[in-house]
Amino acid sequence: MKLLLDSTSSLLFSLLLAQLPVFSYGTVLPHRRPSDLDKLSNQTRNLMKLTQELLKEHAFDSDVESHRFRSLPEMSNRSANDLSNLELKPTLSQLHADLKLYEHHFEWLNRVSKKHQHPAVPKLVEMIKEMKSLINLLHRQMQKIEAPKLTNPTPSLPPHLPYHFDVLQSSHELLQHFKLFCDWAYRAFLSLKPKASAVQ
């Protein structure tokens, strides 16, 4: 009799073990929806990746004369140490204004690159498309929290560049500068996430 009970217990135990994978697969954990700041940081990271890919291309692998563009956002006064002290509305407004400036510069670069039939034009077009998408996403977030929209004066850029090397230099400097901006913006969005959650 004891042997029968032991056999029955073992059989039941084996059946329960066999059902465990079914139970675990059948249990669906609630999926956390990404917040608006998650979306902003993810899209900024994608832009940074595109920028790095463009910089890695041989066409941009050259020493360049820096400070050709005085109208780009100032990055030397932004450090990782300041991230914890950022305020939500002013930071989002400033990042939006900065992105609009970069958009203006990269659209100009796209025009002059096309005239020189630059091989990186398709990837540049993709990058500008991603940038516009990020600007729109950021603008919607600003509207939600009623952050003011800042406007920068539109910088005057030359209608064309005479030499192919000028295009390379301009490309390299803009991309290097924008990579720094994306890195800082990505960290800023992550640090602002708790503050954004508190207001929404």
Q: How far apart are CA 3 and CA 11, in angstroms?
A: 12
Measured CA distances, 38 to 55, 107, 128, 181 (Å) = 26, 27, 21, 18
| pLDDT bracket for residue 32 (50, 70, 90) | low
Q: How far apart are CA 161 and CA 65, in angstroms?
A: 15
Query: Is residue 89's pLDDT more than 50?
Result: yes
**164-199 vs 121-145: helix crossing angle, rounded to 10:** 30
Mean per-residue pLDDT, 20-46? 70
Mean per-residue pLDDT, 151-155? 85
Q: Which residue has the higher pLDDT, 1 or 51?
A: 51
Query: Is residue 91's pLDDT more than 90?
Result: yes
Q: In the chain, what percentage of residues exceed pLDDT 70?
A: 78
Task: Compute how many other C-beta atoms are within 10 angstroms of the C-beta atom of residue 35.
Answer: 14
